[in-house]
Amino acid sequence: MKRPPQGRAIGVVGLGYVGIATAVSFANSGKKVVGYDVDDERMMSLKKGKAPIFEPGLSELVSRHVKNGRLSFADSVDDLIGACNVIFIAVPTPSAKDGTIDLSFLKQAAQDLGYAQSRNPGWRLFVVKSTVVPGTTMNDFAPTMAKCTGGTLGTGFSVASNPEFLAEGTMVEDALHPPRIVIGITDEKSEKLLKSIYAGFHSKVVVLSPTAAELVKYASNSMLATRVSFANEISRMAEKAGVDVYPVLDAVGMDPRIGGKFMRAGPGFGGSCFTKDIKALIAWAKASGLETSLISATLDVNDRQARHVVDLARESTGGLKGKRVALLGLSFKPDTSDTRDSRAYTIVEELLWQEATVSLYDPVAVENFRRGLPHGVADEIGGRLFFASSLKEALRGSDIAIIQCDWEEFRRTPTANWKLLKDKLVVDSRRTLDRKALARNGVRYVSVGLGLD
C-alpha cells in the first residue's frame, strides 16, 4: 500500500456516507486526501479502491482517485495527523432514545485526534463536519481537543464547523457541486485555509461562527421536512375533495416566494438525517426552554402518512386480513441502499398488524432492510414476511402491490406484469407508474393525494 502523502494533505476521519463523499470531492478537485476509519472492513475495501456503500458515481471516483494517488488511507490517527494540516471529522452522531444526539463518537474522535496532535507538534485545523446541535464545536469538541493536546485554541490548533448538505442518491453530485458552502470559523487563518480548499468548487462560501453554521444545518433540514409534511397534509385534503394533489402543489410552487422543491406528496420522509436532526433540535430547544410546536408537528404528520398509505390499500381492497401484499422499494429513496428510517418499516409493521402477509423487494437494499427489522417483526420472516429475489417474483402470488420507493426498475417493468396481482390493484405512494397504461390493462391504481380511479 502507498504511504499517505506527508505534509499538507486534507484528512477525513469517518468514512461513512458523508466522509467518503467529502473525501472524493476534494480528491476530484485536485487535492491530496488521506482518510481514516475505525471500521477495518470498510478500510480494507477502500484501500482496494472499492466503495463500501452504494451511491451513484461513488465507486468510479473511489477507484479512480485511489489509482491516481490523490486518495489514500492512514493506518492510524498519528499517520493521518502527520500527513495533514486540516482534518475534517465526519463521524456518526446518532439519536439517543430521548431524541438527543449521541456525541460519543465525536468525543472519542476529539480525544484520539487531540492526543495525536500532542505527539505531532504544529498548527492544524480540525473541522467538525458531523451534524451537531448549536454550540457543540465550541462547547464540547474544542475543550476536549484543548485538554488532550495540552495546547490552546487558536495557537496550537484551531477548530471550525463545516456542515454537509448532501442528499443520498445524489450525494456525489451534491459534494462535487454544492449550491453553497457554510463554514463556521474562529480566526482569520482558518477562514483563509478553508476558502483556499474550497476555491476549486466555484460555490458561494458563507462565513459564520461555528454555532451559527451548526444551526444552519438543522434549520435547513427542518424546513425541508416541514415542506414534505405540509404537502402530505394537503394530499389528504385533495383525496377528500376528489382532486389530484400534484397539479395543486405544482400551482402552489409556482409562487416565487414558495417554490416547488420538496413539495411532493408520498409516504413521508425517511433516511438518516431528517428525523434524527428534528428530534435533536427539539431536544436541544426543550433543554433551552423553547417550544417547537411547528417542528414537532412535522414528525407527527410524517408518522401518520406511512400508515395512511396502508389505509388506502385497506379501503381499496375491502380489508387486508389474509391478503398477500407486495411491498416494493425498501430504501428510503431511490439510488441508495440506505434503509435508515425508511417508511417501509412502518408500512410493514402496519400490514402485519392488519394480518396481511408481506412479500418484500428492492433492487439493492434487501440486506440492509433485513438487518434493520425490529426483533418482533423479524420473527415473522418465513411466516408472514418474505423476501423476493425479483420484482416479478414479488408480484406473482400477491393480491396487491404497494410502491414505497420509486425505483426506475418499477417504471420500466412491462405494464402486463402488474396483471400478475390477483386483485389487480397497485397502491403507488410515489406516482411511479402510468395509471392510464395500467387502466388499459385492467389494473386499478390508487395513489396518495389522488384516491381510487
Residue with cell 402477509: 357
Which grid coordinates belong to 433?
Answer: 407508474
**CA–CA distance, 285 with 297 (Å, rounded to integer):** 15
d(CA 446, CA 432): 11
End-to-end CA distance of the chain: 61
Residue 335 Rama label (left phi>0; alpha psi -120 to 50; beta): left
What nine digits make up the cell of 165?
448538505
Give the up-direction half-sphere exposure of residue 364: CA atoms within 13 A in the CB hemisphere: 19
Give which of 2, 14, 10, 80 is closest to 43, Cα–Cα.
14
- Write the CB contacts of 49 (distance below 8 Å, at least 6 apart in sequence): 62, 63, 66, 67
Task: Select which of 84, 148, 273, 405 is catalytic.
Answer: 273
- The verdict on whether 84 is a catalytic residue reads no
Report in angstroms the alpha-carbon separations of 68 from 14, 65, 191: 22, 5, 29
Contacts of 210 (CB under 8 A, 6+ apart): 128, 137, 138, 159, 160, 161, 184, 185, 186
| Contacts (Cβ under 8 Å, ≥6 apart) of 367 | none
Q: Report which of 265, 268, 270 is spatially closest to residue 236, judged by C-alpha positions.
A: 265
| Contact predicate 398/422, CB 8 Å | yes
Q: List, by residue number, the catalytic residues.
A: 273
